[in-house]
Amino acid sequence: MTNLIESRIERQGFAILDGGLATELEQRGADLDHFLWSARLLAEAPDLIGQVHQDYLAAGADFIATATYQASFSGFERAGFDRGPAERLMRLSVELAMHARERFWSSPENRVGRLPPLIAASIGPYGACLHDGSEYHGNYDIGRQALLDFHRARMDILADTPADLFALETIPLQEEGEVLIQLLGEYPGKQAWLSFSCRDGQHVSHGERFADCAALADASDQVVAVGINCTAPQHVSELLESARDVHTPLVVYPNSGEHWIATDNRWAGHECGSFPVRDWYERGARLIGGCCRTGPEDIRDLRKELLKIVG
């Protein structure tokens, strides 16, 4: 099985991820004040999701992630969708990304200096479905088997789609990372990147050492990148440095520097400004993008900067 990440790095020197999906949808007028967050728009505004995908591709993204970060059968059931309709919405998320890719790649001018974009099926943490900010602390009141069952239900569906790989993202605790790697073994034809939310320059959100969490990836041939997402940019350099001994390629896509206040359903604090991309690259990051509160212009700037770095 060809390693989807290493082949990109060998040919291009880096790979660009997209930016925030939900917060970009909000910038375009979508109301995401709902426990399904961006997954709600799979039913209500699928064309808007497709347009955001296409705009990220035009900005330079090599990967686009599906609108399934917050999608779960329990969440869809709470919103009135039985299992059949919920499954169709999850599959629709991949179809929307595929159609955006097809439209983008059908124009010869878009292929100049580019590799064919890939689609990552987004798998968010258990805490995301709680809609209470748990993805930023990981203090779940459930056991390991419940985590396995929760994630398996979604992965069973998304593994049976044409998505190129999984994005196992915003994982706040080591045990959940272990569970996801265990489950990945049930889908031997699938690869994934695994990224953790972190609370400082040394620890994931739940408190385990990021270096220990990142090292989990080296034991799995299916985990093709490991790193950090939806974390304040000022912590990224130290986190990357702590994972110097990890052999798996490193992925970084931080948020804008603001922090999420779950009780008020809003972001607060100050944006960090531009990302120190050269420093992150020099510390080993090869997949770089943005998370919440970043948009297509940020991705365009990232690609320009990385092209300068690799010469």
Say yes or no to pLDDT of 69 above 50. yes
Mean pLDDT of 39-55: 93
Could you give the C-alpha distances from 294 to 8, 86, 204, 208, in angstroms and in order? 23, 28, 21, 27
Q: What is the mean pLDDT of the chain?
A: 92
Mean pLDDT of 73-78: 90
Q: Which residue has the tokens 């789609």?
A: 161
Mean pLDDT of 181-209: 97
Percent of the chain at pLDDT exceeding 70 = 94
Say yes or no to pLDDT of 244 above 90. yes
CA 108 to chain centroid: 28
Structure tokens at 249: 């390629």
Radius of gyration of the chain (CA): 18
**Predicted pLDDT at 263:** 52
Say yes or no to pLDDT of 264 above 90. no
**Predicted pLDDT at 32:** 74
Residues present in the chain in total:
311
**Predicted pLDDT at 267:** 47
**Predicted pLDDT at 62:** 98
Which helix (H) or strand (E) segment holds residue 212: the answer is: helix 210-215
Which CATH number is correct for 4-310, 3.40.50.300, 3.20.20.330, 3.40.50.2020, 3.10.180.10?
3.20.20.330
Among the ranges given (29-43, 63-77, 170-184), the one the predictor scored with the smallest mean pLDDT? 29-43
Mean pLDDT of 278-292: 96
pLDDT in tens, 150-173: 999 999 999 999 999 999 999 999
**Predicted pLDDT at 273:** 55
| pTM exceeds 0.85 for this model | yes
**Predicted pLDDT at 198:** 96
**How many angstroms separate the CA atoms of 311 and 299, rounded?**
18
Which helix (H) or strand (E) segment holds residue 237: the answer is: helix 236-242
Domain boundaries, given as residue ranges, for the chain? 4-310
